[in-house]
Structure 1
């Protein structure tokens, strides 16, 4: 309100309005001034230059730099263009900061043609030479925040004449595309809930989709002023956007399902109905109906009336998605702050050790002459040694049990655990001896100590998948629990033999190679019954009480799964605002496909290794309550996690 009152009501919407790029390049930029087009990762600004060159009928040379060949081509193109007055666009400038320094010096000695222009596209990067930034004209590109701002940017980007071409239904299709593009991009903010990863959906996808709509609509309309909604080539538009334009960037099966869900819901003849909902009434949010009319002005006016801040339900997400996002961001920030605090303490102590006067400060150096960080690390190392189990017994192999797929799997797991446990305990023991002054430093121990003091996970300990932002403290706690589970497995095999391994309820997220356990259970059932692996399908039953089921010969029990975005009652799913629900016990049964029951309302859900959703372990099918819509489970990002 303050900004609007001081600078005018329209000031905050200036960023959503399209700038007159052509006028700036032609009249405001001098031939010797480079045009720097900086963008966030995934946003390709080179298309704007190429489109402008086509509109202005300018010859342009487009070169990707970053390699020796690219540098050579760029220099030749610039030397030629400064004489002929052509345009040159150099892509990926952030990959060659050293070469950009030479380019900046070279620009001072050039006497370019009046129509020569040099464009550089690059990601925002601190390594870009400062002198080049000062010498150039800078444009910054990034996706506008919010559905409203995104749609305003889209409508300002597409020329009015293009959108108003016959048939008159074209503008309505462009509106559907603008809404779809805004939802797709805005869900990236909520990754990994909105999408499993941050895909590089950008303006190039929007341009390709516009071209696709024009091509197929022109073909279908045959020059007529109007076209029936049933005659619009919906199938072609959805297929191209799903498999090529937007879907070509997706490498996750469930993200592809999500994309298809949005396309199927929006691009349909029903979108021409006056009461067609862009957003259904879910999670207490009111429906948003497709605006009436087919003229561009009507759609622009409708967009202007949207609130600046949308609720997550507009994107198909649960309304607590913002809470999930902020919780994740808060955890990452706290992790970084803790690491910064450790680094600050280390630098402060190092300066005290170098300055005799500061070294006299109480607490900086102990009575035994050791610095504070060393005494602190000694205490931490001893604490971790008491926390981590001291040993792990290997499984005893025999001629008979080596034939068991479960035995072979757990033997590999325990062997890996024994080796890592031995190395970690030896490292912590050596660090303790160094801190006590009983052992000399080596290059390896010096590097290890440096990583531990900074709160970083030592690279030599990284032998199984953990979230990228995990601290060494989190890793030690997690590793201790994994070893304890392997101890229970080893003890069970020692007392009951290999057959006892099948009856164990396994913490799936606490195994080093979780997906291999699922494969081992399938192999176990196939081998025991003389079936082929291709005959078997996975059936799941969720127990929400702590009463363990009686597992039959084809079933296995896993524990510790967490269900995000839904609840499970009587083995039926329903959407929920609860962020996460722990499933006490889940029964996995391998059955032949002919014996499996497939209810019409079942949904397929991903089971990810952890909350980053980067590693898919396996998929399961579960029934849903009759009132639920299957596609909404994909829009809500419902998934199961083996571990946090």
Structure 2
């Protein structure tokens, strides 16, 4: 749908133009030509909190089958796509015993590891229940010898046999082919033998081994309720000293913080960088507080240890460090010991004296956590659900067959070749090397043009070679194959993305290339512009530095900083620890793109606010120059 020309035109109100591309693509099977006549009904349906649960206007509720209804939801409300999918799927709880009953000695059982989930304990517990010994080897360098010995012992056709568990097989890929031959070609195998394997997804894992195996995964429970239940159900007594009256509240707050810090699912709104906070960080924090609860000022010490050492030691971004310190400052304060303190409405610190009472309180928590629990705006959930839907659809798209079309339509190669011709025709010519005077602005322009020239040359070289490979003149290399697949799916080839900038689709990316080139051409041939497009620079911080150097020269006009800004500029602000001097000012970062990294960072501005700046820090508020 993304490559083929859209023949069907859909009449839509202006406010729905962002959906036009998707609606046009499915117009062949769904007729939306009457949307403009019933705009109020469609708008009312669109504005519902859960449109997939409502009746579709224009009597489409009766005429659409399950799949076409999913297409409709995908076009109108991308963030509700997964919710609609869940209505048609059956969710099955993993049952290892049933999997064992369906397996046989020559069929391995492979578990794909996910973050926070390890099936080792469950497999061992099942073996004990069935009175079968389970022995395991963790794969890695030099572990092949131990793996061979383990297989010989457990596969032998003499008692007792048993189960073999090979952990982290992605670290021993060279042994996988030998393992497959051993399992399939051994003449006699003990009937009680089973081969369990755990691995991360890896593109070099043998396909044949995957095809002959039973594959499963076991993701950990999601949400605060499941996380708290797992913590308190795992032996809180080991951490509970009886010497301090506030220990229960401190422990509950530490545990709540541990799960709230997992707001990385919200992407850049949660953390600029997705940190891997784990159970070891929590245990270290609990142990420190337990040892020093009576000796130190609990408020200041806990705030410092959490924000700078226990959790803060993993944080590398200045604004992420500010967020973490804000959590520590807001939650670990004197109000924490008061009766009215709560993390969010419905999430308070219970007065419990036993683990059973804590578990009873946890059972009453909501099953679904709203973004406000993590300190975010409710709209953060829309961003998360839209990203989740995009990731699922991209994965489905990536595993589609790549063979040429056998029907009468246009083949993949022909479509990509036509697209390559169009891009080559629009691609700007190469820049001619030139000398520049030693002026900071000219040096900055030369550096930007050098990077742009490398991208233009890379794109032209890839497109020319791709056309030759499609015609059979040269060999289709791995990079060219990736470019063909990405261009057909309207995605950006990996080599182009690595050398340039992020964008949502290939069309947006190529349009930005032309716009960047247009700005540089105007600067070269028409003189320095009065207005600059900051997003069009590779290094906007370098532009600000060059501009400041120019105006610091004798006789140059001064730069007047924005109200509330420090006169030493963004470079020093970035290196220094960010502190809010005025309680009415929020230091708001500016980024080129939604991905909030140092590459996209431009500067920070101080914005006046009627609320405390901590409110906006917890919500991850930032200014974006581009959202595509």
What interval of TM-score do these two structures reach, taking the shorter chain for normalisation?
A: 0.5 to 0.7
Residue 242 of structure 2 corresponds to: 166
Q: Please, which of 314, 332, 344 is the counterpart of residue 249 of structure 1?
A: 314
Q: Please, which of 357, 375, 383 is the counterpart of residue 422 of structure 2?
A: 383
1:278–1:288 Cα contact (<8 Å) kept: yes
Give the alignment's Cα RMSD to 1 decimal. 5.5
Residue 464 of structure 1 corresponds to: 499
SS in 1 for 2:510: helix
Q: Please, which of 422, 444, 447 is the counterpart of residue 480 of structure 2?
A: 447
Structure-2 separation of matches of 1:35 and 1:180: 40
Structure-2 separation of matches of 1:598 and 1:175: 32
Structure-1 separation of matches of 2:413 and 2:432: 33
Q: Please, which of 232, 236, 249 is the counterpart of residue 155 of structure 1?
A: 232
Residue 612 of structure 1 corresponds to: 595
2:115–2:219 Cα contact (<8 Å) kept: no
Residue 538 of structure 2 corresponds to: 512
Question: Shift of residue 41 of structure 1?
Answer: 4.0
Structure-2 separation of matches of 1:619 and 1:478: 18
**Where does structure 2 lack aligned partners over 5 or more consecutive residues?**
1-89, 126-133, 574-579
2:558 equivalent to 1:553: yes
Following superposition of structure 1 onto structure 2, how do residues 157-306 of structure 1 map, counting pairs within 5 Å? Answer: 158-167=234-243, 169-185=246-262, 187-202=263-278, 204-205=279-280, 208-210=281-283, 212-214=285-287, 216-218=289-291, 220=293, 233-279=298-344, 286=345, 288-306=347-365
2:119–2:218 Cα contact (<8 Å) kept: no
SS in 1 for 2:509: helix
1:63–1:70 Cα contact (<8 Å) kept: yes
Residue 99 of structure 1 corresponds to: 175
2:403 equivalent to 1:347: yes
SS in 1 for 2:268: coil
Question: Shift of residue 312 of structure 1?
Answer: 0.6
2:518 equivalent to 1:484: yes
1:603–1:621 Cα contact (<8 Å) kept: no
1:602–1:622 Cα contact (<8 Å) kept: no
TM-score (structure 1 length as normaliser): 0.63
CA deviations on 1:228-252 (whole Å, 9 max, x unpaired) are xx96745454444444543343332
Following superposition of structure 1 onto structure 2, how do residues 125-140 of structure 1 map, counting pairs within 5 Å? Answer: 127=205
2:419 equivalent to 1:328: no
Structure-2 separation of matches of 1:428 and 1:111: 54
Residue 410 of structure 1 corresponds to: 445
CA deviations on 1:587-632 (whole Å, 9 max, x unpaired) are 9968999xxx964543334333422224444464433435222222
Question: Shift of residue 480 of structure 1?
Answer: 0.9
Q: Please, which of 145, 169, 173 is the counterpart of residue 222 of structure 2?
A: 145
TM-score (structure 2 length as normaliser): 0.64
Residue 640 of structure 1 corresponds to: 623
Structure with more of its chain in strand, by fraction = 1
Structure-1 separation of matches of 2:461 and 2:360: 69
Question: Shift of residue 376 of structure 1?
Answer: 3.7
Question: Shift of residue 159 of structure 1?
Answer: 1.0
1:456–1:471 Cα contact (<8 Å) kept: yes
Residue 577 of structure 1 corresponds to: none
SS in 2 for 1:173: helix
Residue 144 of structure 2 corresponds to: 71
Structure-2 separation of matches of 1:37 and 1:426: 42
SS in 2 for 1:307: coil
Number of residues of Structure 1 aligned to a counterpart in Structure 2: 518
1:275–1:290 Cα contact (<8 Å) kept: no
Structure-1 separation of matches of 2:382 and 2:284: 38
Structure-2 separation of matches of 1:111 and 1:373: 48
Following superposition of structure 1 onto structure 2, how do residues 490-569 of structure 1 map, counting pairs within 5 Å? Answer: 490-493=524-527, 501=528, 504-526=530-552, 528=553, 552-554=557-559
CA deviations on 1:435-491 (whole Å, 9 max, x unpaired) are 8x8xx7234799377354464545664563322x74433321121111111111112
Question: Shift of residue 70 of structure 1?
Answer: 3.7
2:592–2:601 Cα contact (<8 Å) kept: no
2:516–2:536 Cα contact (<8 Å) kept: yes
Give the direction of change, closer, same or farther, for the CA distance of 1:175–1:111 in structure 2 (3 Å limit): farther
Give the direction of change, closer, same or farther, for the CA distance of 1:601–1:619 in structure 2 (3 Å limit): farther
Residue 421 of structure 1 corresponds to: 456
2:588–2:621 Cα contact (<8 Å) kept: yes
